[in-house]
Amino acid sequence: MEARRPGRGPYLIIVGVLAAAMIAGWTLVALRGPDHAPVACERPETGLTVASTRLLGEAVAPPAEVPVRVLNANGEAGEATAVAEQLAELGFGRHPEEAAGNDPVIAAQDLDCHGQLRFGADAIGRAGTLHLLLPCFELVQDRRIDGTVDVALGRGFDGLDDSAPVRAVLEALNAGEEPDPALTRDLPAATC
């Protein structure tokens, strides 16, 4: 008696089910838009929101002349310290009080945006330098007079833009040179 081999039917059913599942999965991925955090943080207690167009025409400062403090406003333990270390490696100055800490203004650590760059009226150029690395951050002018800039990390923060063109601009600034206009033209456009 000959052994009966199963037909191709069960195999075709399994392949059909897997193909349908794959098509359904890719359709969901394609229809779902990217998860972008808002640029506007909607937190008036932090200061006056400034349009990024305000940076146009402002001379950016060399990173060494930008005393920066990174603040945790998103609840991610250790992230502010890690970002402060990255900024120091890129040549940025350290805040005279501390390089990183919890945000005293957003004590609940619920800043629901990419983040904020907070600065005084005389530090717009310094904020502009940091804005190269953090193009999706909201610009907030507060009443400080010490020339420092705070980087408040929000829940949408996904890292510094330390791409090659940005690094080249920072290196030129640190060397006391004007950045090549072609470099600033090549800076990647941020999708916020």
In this prediction the pTM is 0.76
Could you read off the pLDDT of 109-140 as tens digits, one per residue? 999 999 999 999 999 999 999 999 999 999 99
Taking only the tens place, the pLDDT of each residue in 1-47 is: 556 666 676 666 665 555 544 554 444 434 433 444 557 788 888 88
Question: Which pLDDT band holds residue 188 (cuts at 50, 70, 90)?
Answer: low
With beta carbons less than 8 A apart as the criterion, state whether 124 and 51 touch.
no
Alpha helices in 35-78 (DSSP H): none
Spatial separation of the C-alpha atoms in residues 48 and 92, rounded to whole Å: 24
pLDDT score, position 189: 61
The pLDDT value given to residue 179: 82
User: For the segment 63-83, what is each residue's pLDDT rounded down to a tens digit?
Assistant: 999 999 999 999 999 999 999
Q: Which residues of 129-139 are buried (b: 16+ CB within 10 A; e: fewer)?
A: bbbbbbbbbbb
Residue 143 has pLDDT above 70, yes or no: yes
Q: Is residue 163's pLDDT more than 80?
A: yes
pLDDT of residue 31: 40
| Amino acid (one-letter) located at 61 | A
Question: Phi-psi bin for 159: left (phi > 0), alpha (psi -120 to 50), beta?
Answer: left
In three-state form (DSSP H/G/I as H, E/B as E, the rest C), the secondary structure along 81-93 is: HHHHHHHHHCCCE
Higher pLDDT, 55 or 127: 127
pLDDT for residue 151: 98
